[in-house]
Amino acid sequence: MNATVYPLLLLWSLLCGLLFPLYFGLARLLTRWDAGRIMRLYIWLYGRGWLGLTAPFVPFRRENFDRDPLPTPCILVVNHYSFFDTYFMGGLPVFDVAFAVRSWPFRMFWYAYFMRLAGYLDVEGDEWEDCLASCRKTIAAGGSILFFPEGHRSRDGRLQRFYSGAFRVSIELGVPLVPLCLTGTDRLLPPGRAWLRPARVRLRTLSAYAPSDYPGALGYVRYRREVRDAMTRELATMRAGRK
């Protein structure tokens, strides 16, 4: 698996890098989209390619999106197990999603340019007001924002404490928040390992939360707690193999 997937991923990345100027130029000519949206589509397509090239070893299933279609724009929150979690966001039914990430990916030059162009948030390095302004701009243009509210990959499979940013943004901007539960990537590539293992990856959506249900100065604390509790329950259900 590793002898296949890693070289293919490298080739796919190089191909996408080489084709980018052509894609970007054509997209600018043929659409009226801003650069961020064009870039977010490209990253989503890159993720779709990842799903395709890993499919023989890593079957991917998207769950409940038919029952609970994503409201757009929205804030998405996803649990975090693996470096490759972000790649599986190519499995989302919507492409226009900017990610909120820590500073270290912005230090990887081969990612940084594309992430900046896509309007990704550096929640660690940028000021809160700048992050909020960036979210407002993306949301106003119809895009959504995705957070990994744990901030780090889980090392024991359990959901960690949540940071408040996603919940504050949802309340401040008045956009719904949708929890997503991802399983299987902890088997595929957990923290501390370099070699991939075959895994079944599932991405399940929960129903959207309305920020208006959490008024008051400390409303975001209850918001954060309720969403985390719901994700904990759903992940336990998924892990137990129940519906």
Partner 1 sequence: MTDQEIIGLIDSSLQEEFELEAKIMTPEASFYDDLGLDSLDVVDMVIVLEAAFGFKIREEEAIRSIRTLGDLHAFVIAKKRKLEGTA
Which amino acid is it at 155? R
Q: What is the distance between the alpha carbons of residues 186 and 197, in angstroms, rounded to a whole number?
A: 10
CB-wise, 28 or 161, nearer to partner 1? 161
Selection from 192, 113, 187, 112 nearest residue 152 by Cα: 192
Q: Is 219 in the site for partner 1 (CB under 8 A)?
A: no
Which of 32, 218, 241, 242 is in the footprint of partner 1 by CB under 8 A? 218
Amino acid at 119: G
d(C-alpha 108, C-alpha 120), whole Å: 14
What is the token pair recorded at 40? 């977010």
Instruction: Single out the residue of 186, 164, 1 nearest to residue 75, CA to CA.
Output: 164
Contact call for residues 148 and 80 (beta carbons, < 8 A): yes
Task: Let me know: does 150 contact 204? Beta carbons within 8 Å.
Answer: no
Write each residue from 164 to 203 as x if it is in contact with partner 1 (CB under 8 A), else as -, in one continuous string.
xx--x-----------------------------------
Q: Binders of partner 1 among 121-150, rule CB under 8 A?
A: 123-124, 127-128
Task: Indicate the residue among 72 and 232 with the shorter CB distance to partner 1.
Answer: 232
* Stretch 91-120: interaction string toward partner 1, x if CB under 8 A: -----------x------------------
117 vs 230, which CB is nearer to partner 1?
A: 230
Q: Under the rule (CB under 8 A), what is the footprint of partner 1?
A: 102, 123-124, 127-128, 151, 161, 163-165, 168, 217-218, 221
